[in-house]
Amino acid sequence: METKHLNELRENIFKCMGCGICRGVWERKDEAMCPVWATCLGFEDSTPRGRVTVAQDILDGVIDYSMPLAESLYRCTDCACCATTCDAMDLATGKPIVDVPKIVVASRMDLVENSLVPPPVRNYLKAVYVNGNPYKLPQEDRGKWAKGTEIPVFSGQDYLFYVGDVGSYDERGQKMARSVATLLIKLGISLGILGSNELSDGNDVRVVGEFGLFQHLAESNISTFKDAGVRKIISLDPHSYNAFKNHYPQFGADFEVFHYTQILDDIIRDSKLFKAKGNSIKLTYHDPCYLGRHNGLYEPPRNILNKIPGLELIEMGRNKKSAFCCGGGGGNFFTDMIGGENNSPNRIRLREALDTEAHILAVACPLCAKMFEDAIKAENLEGRLLIKDISEIVQEAIQG
């Protein structure tokens, strides 16, 4: 079978020393850990090191892509913990010599081109291709989340508020979209939305290896944004943020891209905005992979939370660069290839949050929010820990 994309990474693949540090170690609760490995179900091939070993064999022609291998490859959540942990770093760039997430995406691109994707992935891609979103809901419904609010349509405002698939169609995501948009407007940000003219950003389409569809979505979005006169974009979703910032420029995008927490951090200069609270509430914050590890944005959400009186931010053992993935990345939010049952990544992460004895788990990503709310139900922890996004916390603090 074709191994064109994997072949492009040949040199890096064969430089892997095979040390296995990339797996992470469970008991080192302050160090990054591969969420697939943490589910404890995997064989060696489900570890980052194992994935490189398999890639070497594919390039050497010893083994070929197969459906079981595809299933294994699609369990990866693209969290980039392994890339952070790898000790063989390029002196010049500070980046890992062996970039396992990149290798996984390259393999997935080969799989797509060889038409060898597992059914859940195929169904996801088909939904996006046919319906423009993974929910198979009408395109016209994309802006329905804003109904009943005063969030305007984009017509030249300072910022385009881009919502993404989850924010547009998922109930929890919609709640978060409304909260962020209304808060930003309340705080004086001039923004508008595209509503049903918005297309899927394509980040997860790209990560599951369907580069052609991603290119189509990217070019379409870029064209729409340019036609509308967009110069700056505020993204609800870190996945979209990642796509716009890192992967759209190759198609001619030259917008300034922000995540909403960056804007909030910029506006909220001190605590004057907030009504003082008597008792201190403990909260902890989960770094989304696409905001944190992929794009280095650790401080804006923390800066915001630290300015809110009455809140005590307690870090989880694994935080910032070592934050444990909720399991929603790499397309898994839609395909659920990773599974894991009792040890699914979102449940593992939720337990880490519980260990801090916080009452609130703050999030900055609608996919994380949904993953954790599902985990709360699975762990029977309703009422014990509340999942709130940064904007919801800010809104409540302003109201008192």
Cβ proximity to another protein: between 52 and 291 the closer is 52
- For another protein, the binding residue among 92, 254, 276, 400 (CB under 8 A) is 92
CB contact set of 279 (below 8 Å; sequence gap of 6+): 310
In DSSP terms, 297 is beta-bridged to none
The angle subtended at Cα 389 by Cα 383 and Cα 394, nearest 5°, is 105
299-307 vs 390-399: helix crossing angle, rounded to 10: 20
Q: Does 66 bind another protein (CB under 8 A)?
A: yes
In the complex, least distance from residue 352 CB atom to another protein, rounded to whole angstroms = 15
Q: Does 275 bind another protein (CB under 8 A)?
A: no
Half-sphere exposure (Cβ direction) of 262: Cα atoms closer than 13 Å: 18
| DSSP state letters, 267-287 | H--SGGGSPP-SS-EEEEEPP
- For another protein, the binding residue among 2, 7, 8, 63 (CB under 8 A) is 63
Q: Does 235 bind another protein (CB under 8 A)?
A: no
Cβ proximity to another protein: between 119 and 309 the closer is 119
Site residue total, another protein (CB under 8 A) = 39
Q: Does 53 bind another protein (CB under 8 A)?
A: yes
Tell me how far apart the alpha carbons of residues 384 and 363 are, in angstroms, rounded to a whole number. Answer: 16
> Pattern of binders to another protein over 24-43, x per CB under 8 A?
-xxxxx----------xx-x
- For another protein, the binding residue among 97, 137, 267, 378 (CB under 8 A) is 97
Q: Does 1 bind another protein (CB under 8 A)?
A: no
Cβ proximity to another protein: between 43 and 380 the closer is 43
Sheet (strand 232-235) strand order: 191-192, 159-162, 232-235, 256-259
In the complex, least distance from residue 264 CB atom to another protein, rounded to whole angstroms = 36
- HEC string of 164-194? HHHHHHCHHHHHHHHHHHHHHHHCCCCEEEC
- For another protein, the binding residue among 6, 32, 38, 54 (CB under 8 A) is 54
- For another protein, the binding residue among 5, 38, 48, 72 (CB under 8 A) is 72
Which residue has 């959400």 as its token pair? Answer: 301
CB contact set of 89 (below 8 Å; sequence gap of 6+): 95, 96, 97
Q: Are 217 and 205 in contact (CB under 8 A)?
A: yes
Cβ proximity to another protein: between 68 and 309 the closer is 68
Cβ proximity to another protein: between 45 and 312 the closer is 45
Cβ proximity to another protein: between 56 and 391 the closer is 56
CB contact set of 219 (below 8 Å; sequence gap of 6+): 251, 252
Cβ proximity to another protein: between 44 and 171 the closer is 44
Q: Does 49 bind another protein (CB under 8 A)?
A: yes
Chain residues that interact with another protein, rule: CB under 8 A: 11, 14-15, 17-21, 23, 25-29, 40-41, 43-45, 49-50, 53-54, 56-57, 62-63, 66, 68-69, 72, 87-92, 94, 97
